[in-house]
Amino acid sequence: MVKQPENTDASYNELLKKKILRLKKDRNAVIIAHNYQRDEVQELADITGDSLALSQAAVRTDAKVIIFCGVTFMAETAAILNPDKTVLLPVVEAGCPMADMITAEKLRTMKAEYPDAAVVCYVNSSAKVKAESDICCTSSNAVEIVRSLSGHKKVIFVPDRNLGRYVQTQVPDKQIILWKGFCPTHIRVQEEDILEVRKTYPDVEFIAHPECEPEVLALADHICSTGGMFKYIKQSRSKRFIIGTESGMLYKLKRENPDKEFFLATPHLICPSMKLTTLGWLAHSLENMVYKIEVPDDICSKAKKVLDRMLAVSGEKPMSATVGY
Ligand code: 13P
Ligand code: SF4
């Protein structure tokens, strides 16, 4: 990869921002950024949100080019949902380690062991894994998706064991068969981190992402996706919150709730892949139209059905949904 010069000078950043906005217009592009992105990237983005909101935004946009500031599976999802658009990922190495913990081949082996189970894949998975699944889910609709599988008692859930375990607590009438994947960032939260803040502020609310470990989730006042956290905190009467998800969330939480105080559960809640995207790489991406995310036709059409089914269950009008499986 081409090494970019480091320059943290504020005036240089202003120039970069202007350049990005000009290129965005010239290219008829939309900048979509996940809630974990760097502050300055979120600030420039047209749309920020959680994985579900960003998939929905990708379907709705009229722009010809989608610049996805996030990780590979997110850009891949946008590409699958928009086969006629150009989808760019500014940093080609920005992968999600959890998504890489399962392959299509391993999933096929698991399916052979449980032939009567439906297969639900978390959106944090490759296009090939999606193509092998029955329906996709995100952290904001996982419970709803598993409940929707009325014809199935057994459900294979890949790759996140923690989200799968959480879904099992909410849908006890089904048997969830877990894969052993996990998020290396979210598992860093420890019970002691929460108990320590609670010692000083007994009234603090702990809001956790379902990718945290079960013993940490057991301490949570509320468990939800990153998008769900904004909604919950806005309407809550509490004044203090421990945030059990990636540090990028603090940017918008603080802006939207200036009267509330936030504690990151641990300073280690930083996803290295999400932080790879900088203004420099964003400008580079728009200028050179890199890195194009393309999914082979056969995989794309199968994975699209799996995503369309999810969007249909979550209330989005699908482009070609078949919700019978
Ligand atoms: P959300 O869909 O809740 O934004 O989560 C995405 C993710 O990668 C969490 O680690
Ligand atoms: Fe993947 Fe975890 Fe980073 Fe989310 S926070 S993108 S699950 S590594």
What local confidence, expressed as pLDDT, does residue 187 receive? 98
| Ligand 1 atom 9: residue of nearest CA | 211
C-alpha angle 62/32/212, rounded to 5°?
A: 135
Which ligand 1 atom is nearest residue 209's CA?
3
pLDDT tier at 9 (50, 70, 90 boundaries)?
confident
- 203 lies in the same domain as 230: yes
Q: For residue 316, is it within any domain?
A: no
pTM: 0.94
- Domain contains 307: no
Counted domains in the chain? 3
Nearest alpha carbon to residue 157 among 189, 125, 187:
125
Instruction: Say if CB 20 and CB 282 are below 8 A apart.
Output: yes
The answer on 117 and 79 residing in a single domain is: no
* CATH number of the domain within which 160 lies: 3.40.50.10800
In whole angstroms, what is the distance from residue 284 CA to residue 69 CA? 13
**pLDDT bracket for residue 59 (50, 70, 90):** confident
Structure confidence at residue 316 as a pLDDT band (50, 70, 90): low
Least confident of 13-17, 83-87, 244-248, 313-317: 313-317
Do residues 283 and 209 share a domain? no
| Residues 210 and 163 occupy one common structural domain | no
Q: Which residues line ligand 1 (CB under 6 A)?
A: 35, 50-51, 124, 138-139, 183, 211, 225-226
The reply to whether 4 falls in a domain is no
Residue 5 has pLDDT above 50, yes or no: yes
What's the CA-to-centroid distance between 131 and ligand 2, angstroms? 21
Q: Is residue 301 part of a domain?
A: no
Query: Among the three residues 222, 243, 270, which one is the final residue of a domain in this structure?
Result: 270
Contact (CB, 8 A) for 104 and 121: no
The CA–CA distances, whole Å, from 42 to 65, 97, 247, 251, 262 equal 18, 22, 13, 8, 19
CA–centroid distance, 242 to ligand 1, in Å, is: 17
Indicate if 103 and 89 belong to the same structural domain.
no
Q: Which domain covers residue 118, as residue numbers? A: 99-178
Instruction: Determine contact, residues 301/280, Cβ cutoff 8 Å.
Output: no
238 and 212 share one domain: yes
Note whether 67 and 282 are within 8 A (CB): yes
Choice among 36-45, 49-58, 94-103, 172-181 with the minimum mean pLDDT: 49-58
Decide if 158 is inside a domain.
yes
Is there a single domain that holds both residue 282 and residue 237? no
Looking at the domain assignment, is residue 117 inside a domain?
yes
Give mean pLDDT, residues 112-129: 98
